[in-house]
């Protein structure tokens, strides 16, 4: 798809040029402009919008990990929320109980979560498809039960507290400042994964996804790459969780059940399997959809439709149903995800007015 | 075209600015409710009470003549929703205070409310919220969290105090056996350590806890364990729907045990759903009286109830009355703050420390006298224990069942716990 956008006469004469991160100069400029624009956002937006952007960033990093697993390696995990929470608790524990500054605690908890992910990824070496799904479901329940029992680690019924993020004695407080921490991690994470996909390891993951038997015949160690993919997925989930912990300053395992794991799957599928950029779009969609529905239901409340139908408090049920319907409609009409639609929009303007 | 757009946006800005100015003359507060989520069974009466009370306040002169602009949002017990809504309330035009709801939103927002200095009056009664300085060392300081009523831990302490007396009164010999039952979740686990510690102190034999999920299900296995363990007093830590499954299964299994409910685990609706298996369950109320009970303040509660039920016929469960009390404490705190430097979060917090044995005006006998200090947010240590009495089939309307007396809440005892420093924060 992307290759169709490269202008005629633009030939690649070396491998280095062929594997560049951004296929065209314009796409690179757009990416840089996007980051600059985000960096300026705190000057224009209020707390509410900053918290939305922070949520998209934090969940986007975690969803990126899941996309490496699901979209690039073709493995499934329905325990992603548990890894996210593990990262959050680890960072909270490191920062408040061990005195590790949040600056170091965040990457460290990514690594610790990656180790845990490797352990739970072991069944992936032997299992595929639905069987693997059930095995990862076990991870979700085992980890949540661990959090409930390990009071030294998670605080048990008392939420764990995390220290605020600070660097060189300067503490990042409030959404407007913390946003820059998240933005830095988003940029680094997305560049890392895009970069990984052009290395031998990245291509090996894709080979495992596309045809594992052929990949094995080509000399790719299936067990190694499948487990590695779990480790990478857990690493990013851990980073996302750690960022969440230092944003909220408290971590509770309330609300991190199976439904949150499914939400991560929704982000990846809606964004586009195997698309780095799509992950961010899918996350934005999943984070903003309930909010958009909330604005809509707030506008409806007390209006003509509300009064004629006598909705009152039931308006929230309508809101929840609408969210479900939109997701179903989305999957029916846009099965390849937002990334695919984005490419089509780009292609349309590229060939305008001769597109069909 | 451009000029019209500019003029249009300028006009819009003026209108928005003007409405903003109007909004500031009213006192803005937020209200998180759960009418549609996992805790909606008890969240609906409580949330309705808060909404009704503020509507009633606005009808009757507001806060020193100023109206309260309360925004009620049904967040469906979803943490991300609660956070987004909170950011909306603190984004541009900060709210003076928030009437919160359950464990999910209260825990997720503890860090934020302390940072933004916004008093958060929750209906989550976890012990760690009572420690505003963090001196107890059980959790991080929660300086802006408040709630009306005994904490989960204190309610269980009161039940155990009663159980020890009950054991003696019945003339039984030997050590009574106590067991904590509930899901492995922050809410049922909140009072576990406190309960088991006091049970040991009071001479109970504490059995290993029994786990059952927060959702309704088949809990025959748990009941058989309960039976074979020979427990005499069992604390049910979950919410109503799940507790009902257990007491029903245990009735079938023929378990002879005195169930002790928790504040959200048993009420009139739960007794109706459980039928005769709910007969005899002892549980704490946050108020000395239930709906229609004889207290001077009950008249005002019934007036408030007419806001959403003009007929005045609807029976309101215990959570409604607790909601009215919580909202009225907030009202009087806002009043004090308005008179003493304006309704900022810090002033509203200070307002909670002004009175000793505080009962909102007009609610005498309905709300237990409460005292908050800057070192101790345990408002009240008075626990009113009730017993549910079910004397027949519980089909039909709750209003009729309560009127006929098929379901009755019978007062057992009022326990006044000592304000022990070592019980603070857990």
- Secondary structure class of A195 (helix, strand, coil): helix
Q: Judge contact between A236 and A62, C-beta under 8 A.
A: yes
- Residue from A60, A151, A157 whose CB has the most chain B CBs within 10 Å, to mutate: A157
Nearest chain B residue to A290, by CA:
B81
Query: Chain A within 8 Å of B79 (Cβ-Cβ)?
Result: yes
Query: Chain A within 8 Å of B134 (Cβ-Cβ)?
Result: no
Q: Judge contact between B407 and B271, C-beta under 8 A.
A: yes
Pairing of strands B233-236, B177-182: parallel
Query: Chain A within 8 Å of B414 (Cβ-Cβ)?
Result: no
- B284 shares its domain with B316: no
Length of chain A: 356
Which chain B residues contact residue A159 at CB under 8 A?
107, 110, 128, 139, 186
The tens digit of pLDDT for each residue in A147-187 reads 988 888 888 788 888 889 988 888 888 889 999 999 999 99
- Residue from A255, A262, A296 whose CB has the most chain B CBs within 10 Å, to mutate: A255
Distance CA A260, CA A236 (A): 16
Indicate yes or no: CB of A46 within 8 angstroms of CB of B79: no
Give the pLDDT score at A216: 92
Whether the pLDDT of residue A240 is over 60: the answer is: yes
Distance CA B266, CA B244 (A): 8
Query: For A121-125, A243-247, B152-156, B422-426, which range has the lowest pLDDT when averaged over its residues?
Result: A121-125
Task: Return all residues near A174 (Cβ < 8 A) that are at least 6 apart.
Answer: A47, B115
Distance CA B198, CA B417 (A): 12
- Secondary structure class of B416 (helix, strand, coil): strand
Indicate yes or no: CB of A149 within 8 angstroms of CB of B139: no
Indicate yes or no: CB of A52 within 8 angstroms of CB of B190: no
Distance CA B313, CA B311 (A): 5
Q: Judge contact between A277 and A31, C-beta under 8 A.
A: no
CA atoms within 13 A on the CB side of B46: 27
The tens digit of pLDDT for each residue in B227-252 reads 999 999 999 999 888 999 999 999 99
Mean per-residue pLDDT over chain B, rounded: 89
Task: Return all residues near B58 (Cβ < 8 A) that are at least 6 apart.
Answer: B67, B68
- Secondary structure class of B258 (helix, strand, coil): strand
Q: How many CB atoms lie within 10 A of CB B261?
A: 28
User: Which of B371, B329, B375, B364 lies closest to B123, judged by CA?
Assistant: B329
Question: Which DSSP string corresponds to B70-89?
Answer: EEEEE-TT-HHHHHHHHHHH
DSSP B376: B
Q: Judge contact between B234 and B258, C-beta under 8 A.
A: yes
- B91 shares its domain with B5: yes
Reading the block at residue A344, the tokens are: 């089509």
Helix, strand, coil percent content, chain A, rounded in steps of 5: 75, 0, 20
Q: Where in chain A are the domains? A: 29-261
Q: What are phi and psi of A318, to 5 degrees?
A: -60, -40
- Residue from A254, A263, A285 whose CB has the most chain B CBs within 10 Å, to mutate: A254
Give the pLDDT score at B321: 96
Distance CA A202, CA A189 (A): 15
Query: Chain A within 8 Å of B211 (Cβ-Cβ)?
Result: no
- Residue from B73, B91, B182, B196 whose CB has the most chain A CBs within 10 Å, to mutate: B91
CATH of the domain at B42: 3.40.50.2300
Distance CA A303, CA A215 (A): 60
Residues paired with B145 in a beta bridge: B120
Q: What are phi and psi of A257, to 5 degrees?
A: -80, -165
Angle at Cα B126 formed by Cα B123 and Cα B132, nearest 5°?
Answer: 95
How close A166 gets to chain B, by Cα (Å)?
Answer: 15
CA atoms within 13 A on the CB side of B361: 5
The tens digit of pLDDT for each residue in B277-292 reads 899 999 999 999 999 8
- B202 shares its domain with B128: no
Indicate yes or no: CB of B110 within 8 angstroms of CB of A250: yes
Query: Chain A within 8 Å of B189 (Cβ-Cβ)?
Result: yes
Q: What are phi and psi of B383, to 5 degrees?
A: -125, 120
Using CB atoms, pick whichever of A51, A173, A252 lies closest to residue B84.
A51
Nearest chain B residue to A52, by CA:
B84
- B263 shares its domain with B301: no
The mean pLDDT of B23-30, rounded to a whole number, is 79
Q: Judge contact between B409 and B268, C-beta under 8 A.
A: yes
Query: Chain A within 8 Å of B399 (Cβ-Cβ)?
Result: no
Task: Determine what percent of chain B is predicted with pLDDT higher than 90.
Answer: 71
Distances (CA, A) of A322 to A260, A314, A329, A336: 19, 12, 10, 21
The tens digit of pLDDT for each residue in B315-373 reads 999 999 999 999 999 999 999 999 999 899 999 999 999 999 999 999 999 999 999 99
Give the pLDDT score at A167: 86
Residues paired with B29 in a beta bridge: B70, B97
Task: Determine what percent of chain B is predicted with pLDDT higher than 70.
Answer: 94
Residues paired with B408 in a beta bridge: B389
Distance CA B13, CA B5 (A): 12
pLDDT classification of A5: cutoffs 50, 70, 90: low
Q: What are phi and psi of B145, to 5 degrees?
A: -95, 135
Give the pLDDT score at A36: 93
Distance CA B143, CA B364 (A): 28
Which chain B residues contact residue A294 at CB under 8 A?
73, 81, 84
Indicate yes or no: CB of B107 within 8 angstroms of CB of A156: no
- B62 shares its domain with B107: yes
Q: Judge contact between B118 and B102, C-beta under 8 A.
A: no
- Secondary structure class of A167 (helix, strand, coil): strand
* Domain around B409: 152-290+382-423
Which chain B residues contact residue A175 at CB under 8 A?
87
What is the complex's ipTM, to 2 decimals?
0.84
Give the pLDDT score at A1: 40
User: Which of A116, A56, A48, A57 lies closest to A82, judged by CA?
Assistant: A116
pLDDT classification of A22: cutoffs 50, 70, 90: confident
Peptide bond into A353 cis (omega under 30): yes
Reading the block at residue A7, the tokens are: 């202008």
Nearest chain B residue to A156, by CA:
B186
Nearest chain B residue to A53, by CA:
B84
Whether the pLDDT of residue B22 is over 60: the answer is: no
Tell the burial category of B102 from Cβ atoms under 10 Å away from its Cβ (0-12, 13-18, 19+).
Answer: buried
How close B125 gets to chain A, by Cα (Å)?
Answer: 12
Tell the burial category of A200 from Cβ atoms under 10 Å away from its Cβ (0-12, 13-18, 19+).
Answer: exposed
How close A205 gets to chain B, by Cα (Å)?
Answer: 33
Query: Chain A within 8 Å of B94 (Cβ-Cβ)?
Result: no
Indicate yes or no: CB of A157 within 8 angstroms of CB of B186: yes
Q: Judge contact between B32 and B100, C-beta under 8 A.
A: yes
Which chain A residues contact residue B84 at CB under 8 A?
48, 51-52, 55, 290-291, 294
Indicate yes or no: CB of B190 within 8 angstroms of CB of A50: no
Give the pLDDT score at A356: 57
- B90 shares its domain with B128: yes
Nearest chain B residue to A317, by CA:
B36
Query: Chain B within 8 Å of A202 (Cβ-Cβ)?
Result: no
Which chain B residues contact residue A254 at CB under 8 A?
79, 103-104, 107-108, 185-186
The tens digit of pLDDT for each residue in B142-186 reads 999 999 999 999 999 999 999 999 999 998 888 999 999 998 888
Which chain A residues contact residue B73 at CB under 8 A?
294
Helix or strand holding residue B177 (H, E): strand B177-182
Query: For A26-30, A111-115, A118-122, A248-252, which range has the lowest pLDDT when averaged over its residues?
Result: A26-30
Distances (CA, A) of A280 to A268, B91, B310: 9, 24, 50
Cβ contacts below 8 Å, chain A against chain B, sum to 102
Using CB atoms, pick whichever of B73, B88, B186 lies closest to residue A254.
B186
- B376 shares its domain with B386: no
User: Which of B193, B186, B182, B191 lies closest to B215, judged by CA?
Assistant: B182
- B72 shares its domain with B195: no
Nearest chain B residue to A263, by CA:
B80
- Secondary structure class of A140 (helix, strand, coil): helix
Residues paired with B121 in a beta bridge: B99, B146
pTM of the shown model: 0.88
Using CB atoms, pick whichever of B73, B74, B189 lies closest to residue A157.
B189
Domain count, chain B: 2
- B172 shares its domain with B263: yes
Q: Judge contact between B253 and B261, C-beta under 8 A.
A: no
Whether the pLDDT of residue A303 is over 80: the answer is: no
Mean per-residue pLDDT over chain A, rounded: 88
Q: What are phi and psi of B420, to 5 degrees?
A: -80, 135
- B217 shares its domain with B187: yes
Query: Chain A within 8 Å of B202 (Cβ-Cβ)?
Result: no
The tens digit of pLDDT for each residue in A28-82 reads 888 899 999 999 999 998 889 999 999 999 999 999 999 999 999 999 899 999 9
Reading the block at residue A132, the tokens are: 């693997």
Task: Return all residues near B304 (Cβ < 8 A) that are at least 6 apart.
Answer: B49, B52, B53, B56, B324
Distance CA B41, CA B30 (A): 21
Which chain A residues contact residue B184 at CB under 8 A?
145, 148-149
User: Which of B113, B39, B46 lies closest to B77, judged by CA?
Assistant: B39
- Residue from B39, B129, B139 whose CB has the most chain A CBs within 10 Å, to mutate: B139
Which chain B residues contact residue A173 at CB under 8 A?
115
* Residue linked to tokens 């408090």: A313
The tens digit of pLDDT for each residue in A313-350 reads 777 787 788 888 888 888 888 888 888 888 888 888 87
Using CB atoms, pick whichever of A49, A148, A287 lies closest to residue B184.
A148
How close A26 gets to chain B, by Cα (Å)?
Answer: 30
Give the pLDDT score at B17: 42
């Amino acid at each position: 798809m992307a290759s169709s956008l490269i202008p005629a006469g633009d030939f690649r004469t070396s491998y280095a040029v062929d594997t560049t991160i951004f296929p065209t100069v314009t796409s690179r400029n757009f990416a840089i402009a996007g980051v600059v624009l985000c960096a300026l956002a705190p000057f224009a937006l209020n707390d509410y919008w900053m918290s939305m952007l922070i949520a998209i960033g934090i969940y986007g990093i975690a969803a990126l990990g899941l996309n490496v697993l699901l979209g690039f390696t073709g493995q499934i995990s329905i325990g992603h929320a548990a890894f996210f929470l593990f990262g959050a608790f680890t960072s909270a524990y490191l920062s408040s109980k061990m005195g590790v500054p949040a600056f170091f605690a965040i990457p460290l908890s990514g690594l610790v979560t990656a180790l845990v992910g490797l352990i739970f990824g072991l069944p992936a070496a032997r299992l595929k498809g639905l069987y693997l799904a059930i095995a990862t479901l076990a991870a979700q329940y085992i980890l949540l039960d661990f959090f409930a029992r390990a009071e030294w680690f998670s605080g048990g019924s008392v939420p764990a507290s995390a220290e605020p993020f600070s660097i060189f004695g300067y503490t990042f407080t409030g959404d407007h400042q913390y946003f820059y921490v998240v933005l830095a991690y988003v940029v680094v994470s997305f560049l890392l994964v895009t970069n990984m996909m052009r290395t031998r390891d990245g291509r090996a993951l894709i080979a495992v996804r596309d045809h594992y038997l052929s990949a094995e015949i080509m000399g790719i160690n299936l067990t190694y790459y499948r487990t590695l993919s779990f480790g990478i997925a857990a690493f990013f989930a851990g980073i996302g969780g750690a960022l969440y912990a230092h944003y909220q300053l408290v971590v509770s395992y309330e609300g991190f059940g199976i439904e949150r794991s499914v939400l991560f799957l929704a982000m990846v599928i809606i964004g586009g399997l195997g698309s780095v950029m799509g992950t961010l779009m899918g996350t934005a969609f999943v984070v903003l959809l309930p909010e958009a529905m909330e604005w809509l239901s707030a506008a409806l409340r007390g209006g003509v439709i509300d009064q004629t139908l006598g909705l009152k408090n039931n308006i929230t049920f309508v809101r929840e149903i609408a969210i479900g319907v939109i997701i179903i409609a989305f999957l029916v009409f846009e099965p390849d995800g937002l990334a695919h639609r984005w490419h089509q929009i780009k292609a349309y303007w590229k060939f305008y007015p001769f597109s069909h | 075209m451009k000029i019209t757009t500019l003029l249009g946006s300028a006009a819009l800005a003026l209108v928005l600015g003007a409405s903003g100015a109007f909004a500031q003359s009213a006192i803005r507060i937020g209200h998180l409710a759960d009418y549609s989520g996992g805790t909606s069974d008890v969240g609906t009466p409580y949330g309705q009470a808060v909404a009704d009370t503020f509507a009633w306040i606005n009808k009757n002169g507001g806060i020193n003549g100023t109206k309260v602009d309360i925004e009620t949002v049904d967040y469906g017990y979803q943490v991300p929703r609660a956070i987004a809504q909170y950011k909306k309330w603190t984004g541009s035009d900060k709210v003076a205070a928030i009437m919160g709801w359950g464990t999910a939103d209260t825990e997720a927002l503890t860090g934020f409310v302390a940072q933004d200095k916004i008093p958060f009056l929750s209906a989550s009664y976890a012990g760690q919220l009572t420690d505003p300085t963090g001196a107890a060392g059980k959790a991080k300081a929660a300086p802006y969290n408040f709630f009306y009523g005994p904490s989960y831990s204190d309610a269980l302490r009161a039940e155990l105090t009663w159980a020890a007396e009950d054991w003696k009164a019945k003339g039984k010999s030997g050590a009574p056996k106590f067991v904590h039952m509930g899901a492995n979740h922050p809410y049922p686990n909140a009072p576990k350590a406190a309960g088991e510690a006091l049970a040991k102190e009071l001479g109970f034999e504490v059995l290993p806890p029994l786990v059952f999920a927060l959702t309704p299900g088949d809990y025959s296995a748990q009941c058989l364990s309960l039976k074979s363990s020979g427990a005499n007093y069992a604390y049910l830590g979950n919410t109503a729907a799940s507790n009902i499954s257990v007491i029903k299964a245990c009735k079938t299994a023929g378990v002879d045990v005195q169930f002790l409910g928790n504040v959200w685990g048993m009420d009139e609706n739960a007794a109706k759903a459980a039928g005769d298996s709910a007969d005899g369950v002892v549980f704490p109320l946050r108020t000395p009286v239930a709906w229609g009970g004889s207290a001077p303040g009950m008249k005002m509660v019934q007036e408030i109830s007419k806001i959403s039920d003009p007929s005045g016929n609807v029976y309101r469960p215990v959570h409604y009355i607790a909601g009215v009390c919580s909202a009225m404490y907030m009202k009087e705190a806002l009043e004090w703050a308005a008179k003493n430097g304006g309704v900022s979060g810090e002033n509203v917090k200070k307002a909670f420390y002004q009175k000793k044995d505080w009962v909102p005006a007009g609610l005498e006998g309905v709300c237990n006298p409460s005292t908050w200090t800057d070192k101790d947010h345990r408002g009240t240590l008075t626990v009113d224990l009730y017993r549910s009495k079910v004397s027949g089939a519980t089909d039909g309307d709750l209003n009729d069942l309560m009127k006929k007396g098929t379901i009755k809440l019978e007062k057992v005892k009022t326990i006044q716990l000592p304000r022990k420093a070592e019980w603070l924060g857990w």
